[in-house]
A and B are shown apart, each in its own frame.
Chain A
């Protein structure tokens, strides 16, 4: 589904990303972990064609994302606040996303039903603008907006950050369901090793822009990762 080849990104003299080869299969749930500055967000931005790599390419369904824009139709993403339009109300924002992807009234209806529990009555039907909401609620809106067009590929940067415990659990269940029922390919980065090992079947550890580990999740993964990061310190 996603193929990365010889991807490098250099800022000044530091190489922040250097991935000779990486393949993500359809339906795979791919977790990206690493300390601050390891290159996680940079990698996601390259995948979403938000920054121009110095060399190499990212191919989505065998098309270079920088040359062909078809991937946008089947890719949902939420990296940070910059993906929200902060002067809209949540309902207006979802309406805008629906218009951009050409969703019907029925689709919107279904979306609201599906996410009723996730929103927990804090998001919809309110007159507050997105910029007036707490960061946790903004995060919910961003994630929901990414899922709204029922994408085949989902890219989330730190989705668990600033969510309350109940919503973290709901999000994990939601992601698992998406994987099982719709075979969504998921790319998720996280600092929280617990969450990411629970949701992802494959974990890649990034350090200084390079892939240090590429493991299939098993019972021991969490321990392995913990010892890896502990040793690092």
Chain B
């Protein structure tokens, strides 16, 4: 039976249109995955050197152990947000004479193959060998490794269990995330030493392998929790993630209604974003885009790498916009025919989309203004890249969107979901990201970095001034492609 499950899952994956049609995209994803594997492997292999560099004094094993508890906390959060729920279309198996236990064991067990469980091993195995075993002996190394493996798997089961139990509750996630940050801050100021606790806890397994029992038992408990939860609910309509059954009231916003057809389109897009899982998870990613700058702006090493910081600026105020504008029509693939047969002025329609893109970027820009406290230069970079985003990037993205003819399934989450995304779209976006840097370089090479930045902003302003005619161009392209788009969107 297990053989059948595996064979059929494999066929489901390889025969999905997404896998077959999207060779380029698969190559790109493969490339990034490979890159990530190499990074992690390097981190693991050179951990001695890295720790020597950062902490020339102190015991490395203890320091490393000090981070582990944080890692597991963050890992749980990341899994909760990004790890998809294991899906075996159980309807097709329930009516057959197969024991329920078997189906559930398979569903739960399958999650162990997730990428989240393998990537950390790339770091942990070298650390176990090079740090732990070399210092405390191979038995300690094994004990430490097995404890961590058990905890990784426990997190794996726990995250899927919590996800089924809680559904996607943004409040819970936010509180949990803030709690981790708070703990870290307290730790940093030596008020509450979680790292000390972590270090002591993971030190146990090195000194007394007997304590291995704790993580292993914990893993078994987490597995059982998930297993029994699923077994009790092995009905197609109960196994899904819990949904909040309250309806939002976006349609009641008076102001939007007073705008006539334009307001009606804006309300429609808001509902589209809020009521579909895929688009909703994108909204939750907003903090990621905004905090992206923190990694680079807070690091003095990047302070003078302005060319690089331009990318950061574009990404912060443009990342959310990119998600919106790039698939401005793809998100509507489910009812594209309806739009085409209604008497809608498409020039106006696309202009509204442009305005929404500008609005999204503007909100992101305003939210990133606090970076000015780190250095006023960052505000300047953010501002010129923001102008470029709303003047040029928004237009190019919408123009590219008219070439997109892939139907998008909005009912599944956005993380690791590449359905409906075309690899060519990504490749074509590259030049638009490179352009600002290309404008900047000749100026900075001649000692005029600020003038270079200003020119990026000016380019954006030019785009803004001509936005009406540029939207007209997009509309023209929309009409030229509408049959192809409609045809593509109909292909389920």
Contacts and interface: CB of A to CB of B under 8 A. Distances in A.
Interface string B326-370: 000000001111101111100000000000000000000000000
A88 B268 CA distance: 8
Interface of A (DSSP majority class)? loop
A21 to B, nearest CB: 23
Contacts of B271: 87-88, 92
Interface in B255-292: 260-261, 264, 268, 271-272, 275-276
A52 B275 CA distance: 33
Nearest to B346: A69
A50 B276 contact: no
B105 interface: no
Interface stretch (B8-16, B187-195, B437-445, B483-491): B483-491
B134 interface: no
A101 to B, nearest CB: 7
Q: Choose among A86, A100, A101 the residue with the greatest number of B CB atoms under 10 Å from its CB.
A: A100
B314 to A, nearest CB: 31
B interface, size bucket = 20 to 34
Q: Choose among B268, B337, B340, B410 the residue with the greatest number of A CB atoms under 10 Å from its CB.
A: B337
A72 interface: yes
Contacts of B336: 82
A95 B486 CA distance: 24
A83 B338 contact: yes
A72 B338 CA distance: 11
B247 interface: yes
Contacts of A84: 335, 338
A86 B341 contact: no
Interface string A77-104: 1011011111111001001110111100
Contact of B275 (A51, A79, A129): A129
Nearest to B263: A99
A91 B59 CA distance: 66
Interface string A100-137: 11100000000000000000000000010100000000
Contacts of A83: 335, 337-338, 341
B323 interface: no
A187 interface: no
Contacts of A169: none
A87 B340 CA distance: 18
Nearest to A52: B483
B335 A73 contact: no
Contact of A101 (B343, B410, B489): B343
Contacts of B101: none
A99 B260 contact: yes
Contacts of A85: 268, 334-335, 338
Nearest to B333: A82
B138 interface: no
B486 A89 contact: no
B343 A86 contact: no
Interface in A54-78: 69, 72-73, 75, 77
Contacts of A156: none
A48 B489 CA distance: 16
Contacts of A73: 343
B264 A99 contact: yes
Contacts of A87: 271-272, 275-276, 410
A52 B261 CA distance: 28
Interface string A144-173: 000000000000000000000000000000
12 contacts: A50-B337, A75-B341, A77-B341, A86-B335, A87-B271, A88-B271, A95-B264, A96-B264, A96-B268, A99-B261, A100-B261, A129-B275
Interface of B: 245, 247, 251, 260-261, 264, 268, 271-272, 275-276, 334-338, 340-344, 410, 483, 486-487, 489-490
